[in-house]
Amino acid sequence: MNALILLGHGARDPAWAGPLMKARETLTREHPALAVEPAFLEFMPPALEEAVSMLAARGAARITVVPVFLAQGGHLKNGLSERLDAIRRRHPGCALRLAPVAGEAPEVIAAIATHAAHAAAQADIALETPEPRPGKVWLVGAGPGDPALLTLKAARLIALADAIVYDHLVGDGILALARSGTEIVYAGKEASRHTLPQAQINAMLVALAKRHATVVRLKGGDPFIFGRGGEEIEALSAEGIPFGIVPGITAASGCAASAGFPLTHRNYARMLTLATGHLKNGSVELDWPALARARQTVVFYMGVAASGEISRQLIAHGLPADTPVAVVRQGTLDSQAALFTRLDEFPSRLREANITPPALIVVGNVVRLNRTPHKTRDCEQPPL
């Protein structure tokens, strides 16, 4: 036979043992095969020793002593285990085990909290649960690739984030700044291979903000330059989710710096245009007469696939065929490749050199000024 002893403190007034006796009644009703006896440490009979003798006499082979107190007091730490040892010696045929104090059980702790809340409600203390506050989503520019070109704010947010949603332009060197335990989600986005549709990314940001305090949406370059940051803040504000924006060094600045030419110049370019070469229904829908105007620099993002059309249209609209062109692939990274060529030749040169995205196409006389710079790495501080 297996048995339980419900061990209470005891009191001079037997009525105080009421809750313990009720628990015994419930146990006996629900588990008829189990022998359940009360026992008390003070004043009330039976004492622990008597309860064990009683159950041993009834043939109990295993007895578990369950202290029905909320906290482990001095009597449990010192006296009780010695007292149990002495009882064990008297009943060698009976396995006697001490269970944890009732108050340590999670159910009891939960019940105490419910009980206290109930008491508070009865005392007219308002208990409405506040609306859960959503976290904040940070649209963070990760810069062109080199982690040392992150802003301090970006590096801090990456290290702090509970969740990071990044796209394919964000390199491992940057993700390595995240702490362990951060939920890291790849949202992808490569020309003609969109891993997640934008609507799904927006929905994911909203869902993550409901679960986490700090969500970082990490984007290559600057989030507001061909980064669809505008669509994301629209989706976030429609859901009432607070957001912040951290600008990043855009590919045009990063590539020009690491390939060594300026984007504007008093004599060659008094205007700078950033254009997307992304194909829409197989063609680049751009204002070609405006882009072919002299004395400006035109930078094409996502333009590799459209290089033939870019070259043809600019020449057709009046730019000289020998206008200098730079194509920079993986600018600022160790794997950077830069090609210096001219407007009529760059599509074939690009193919020969096997330049694939991500690459930036820069058209204009500023490219002529290129000089090989020292790598930014030469002046790097220890890692951020």
The one segment of 29-37, 77-85, 176-184, 219-227 that binds ligand SAH by CB under 6 A? 219-227
Q: Is 226 in the site for ligand SAH (CB under 6 A)?
A: yes
Q: Is 313 in the site for ligand SAH (CB under 6 A)?
A: no
Taking the complex as a whole, the smallest distance from the CB of residue 222 to ligand SAH amounts, in Å, to: 4
Taking the complex as a whole, the smallest distance from the CB of residue 189 to ligand SAH amounts, in Å, to: 8
Sites for ligand SAH among residues 250-309 (CB under 6 A)? 250-251, 254-255, 301-302
What mask, x for binding ligand SAH by CB under 6 A, covers residues 198 to 217? --------------------
Q: Is 357 in the site for ligand SAH (CB under 6 A)?
A: yes
Quick check: is 189 catalytic?
yes
Sites for ligand SAH among residues 359-378 (CB under 6 A)? 359-360
Q: Which two tokens stand for residue 251?
A: 């590919």
Taking the complex as a whole, the smallest distance from the CB of residue 302 to ligand SAH amounts, in Å, to: 4
The one segment of 6-14, 92-100, 199-207, 325-333 that binds ligand SAH by CB under 6 A? 325-333
Q: Using the minimum distance from each CB to ligand SAH, give the nearer residue, 84 or 360.
A: 360
Cα dihedral 203, 209, 211, 216 sign:
positive
Q: Residue 294 class from Cβ within 10 Å (0-12 exposed, 13-18 middle, 19+ buried)? A: middle
Taking the complex as a whole, the smallest distance from the CB of residue 296 to ligand SAH amounts, in Å, to: 19
The one segment of 29-37, 125-133, 220-228, 265-273 that binds ligand SAH by CB under 6 A? 220-228
Q: Using the minimum distance from each CB to ligand SAH, give the nearer residue, 226 or 268.
A: 226
Quick check: is 167 catalytic?
yes
The answer to whether the CB of 223 falls within 8 A of the CB of 140 is yes
Taking the complex as a whole, the smallest distance from the CB of residue 173 to ligand SAH amounts, in Å, to: 12
Q: Using the minimum distance from each CB to ligand SAH, give the nearer residue, 134 or 220.
A: 220
Taking the complex as a whole, the smallest distance from the CB of residue 104 to ligand SAH amounts, in Å, to: 54
Candidates 145, 247, 324, 347: give the one binding ligand SAH (CB under 6 A): 145
Alpha-carbon gap, residue 133 to 316, rounded angstroms: 56
Set 77, 136, 153, 189: catalytic member: 189
Set 13, 22, 146, 167: catalytic member: 167
Q: Which residue's C-beta sits nearest to ligand SAH?
A: 221
Neighbours of 158 (CB within 10 A): 27
Alpha-carbon gap, residue 256 to 159, rounded angstroms: 28
Sites for ligand SAH among residues 148-167 (CB under 6 A)? none
* HEC readout, the chain: CEEEEEEECCCCCHHHHHHHHHHHHHHHHHCCCCEEEEEECCCCCCEHHHHHHHHHHCCCCEEEEEECCCCCCHHHHHHHHHHHHHHHHHCCCCEEEECCCHHHCHHHHHHHHHHHHHHHHHCCCCCCCCCCCCCEEEEEECECCCHHHCCHHHHHHHHHCCEEEECCCCCHHHHCCCCCCCEEEECCCECCECCCCHHHHHHHHHHHHHHCCEEEEEECECCCCCCCHHHHHHHHHHCCCCEEEECCCCHHHHHHHHHCCCCCECCCECCEEEEECCCECCECCCCHHHHCCCCCEEEEECCHHHHHHHHHHHHHCCCCCCCEEEEEECCCCCCCEEEEEECCCHHHHHHHCCCCCCEEEEECHHHHHCCCCCCHHHHCCCCC
Taking the complex as a whole, the smallest distance from the CB of residue 307 to ligand SAH amounts, in Å, to: 11
Q: Using the minimum distance from each CB to ligand SAH, give the nearer residue, 250 or 313.
A: 250
Candidates 44, 101, 164, 169: give the one binding ligand SAH (CB under 6 A): 169
Residues of the shown chain interacting with ligand SAH in the complex, contacts defined by CB under 6 A: 144-145, 169, 219-222, 225-227, 250-251, 254-255, 301-302, 328-332, 357-360
Instruction: Give the residue numbers marked as catalytic.
Output: 167, 189
